[in-house]
Amino acid sequence: MNETNDPRQPQVWVTGATGLIGGLVVQTSARFAAGWIVRPTTRRQFDLADSRSMAACFHQERPSAVIHCGAVSRPVDCEREPGLARRINVDGTRFLAELAAEIPLIFLSSDMVFDGRKGGYRETDAVNPMSVYAETKIEGEQLILKNPRHAVVRTSLNYGASATGNRSFNEEMMTAWQAGKTLSFFTDEFRCPIPAVVTSRVLWELLNQGATGLYHVAGSERLSRWDIAECVARRHPGISAPRTAVSRVAYQGPPRPADTSLNSSRVQALLPFPLPRFSEWMADAS
């Protein structure tokens, strides 16, 4: 992390620094954020639900840019506490965007803003939320994109290790498997998973380029939930990973998008490296 006290260097805030992507944005800053002083913020230091403390901190430190990863990001938590989800994901984002009106801000969003009826979504495709989480992300996007200085990044399932050990989909899977649970995975629900370390690198690249507007940032491979689980299980051969393949046809829970795969060609044109195929990246990392 770049923490020099050189007043000539601009400071960038990273909200949600204890989360998976926010944490990796901070960790990778030494490689990809030359010239920036990186200020990681957490809810304890910078409460997105407390506009007064946000304003005081912002005006005291006067950052030159913001990478906004902080959110109530688990859909189940948003369904259980929709009021909290709105205060953090919408109201907190609105106020932060107002504070950062004159500087670059990148807001992290999700492929879950789509209803999953077609897949291969581009930035120009219409959104249609199927959950409270998706609703709050869409509202956050709309607030951010009002400002031509700001950018929105929609991403998919991110693989990686978080500081708390429970913020990524793979950590949740591993915890369940280590507890001896058998997990079921859909063979007909699709995403474009991506390593969180790659997402963090893209965020730095967009900030350094001064990119604005809306971008999809996901892996270049469309995989089913079952395929993704297979990749994770192969990556950890020492862990027993009991699992069964199932179809969405028999699913009776809350609505789920069937295919939120993203087309990331717009951002790929800006990057000096290829967005990876998840299965190949996992095999190479083993």
The kind and range of the H/E element at 170 are helix 169-178
Phi, psi (rounded to 5 degrees) for 217? -130, 100
% of the chain surpassing 70 pLDDT = 97
**Tell me: the pLDDT tens digits for 61-95?**
999 999 999 999 999 999 999 999 999 999 999 99
pLDDT tens digits along 127-173: 999 999 999 999 999 999 999 999 999 999 999 999 888 889 999 99
* pLDDT above 60: residue 226: yes
What are 235's two structure tokens? 């990556």
Structure tokens given for 60: 């005291």
Q: What is the CATH code for 11-165+193-221+262-277?
A: 3.40.50.720
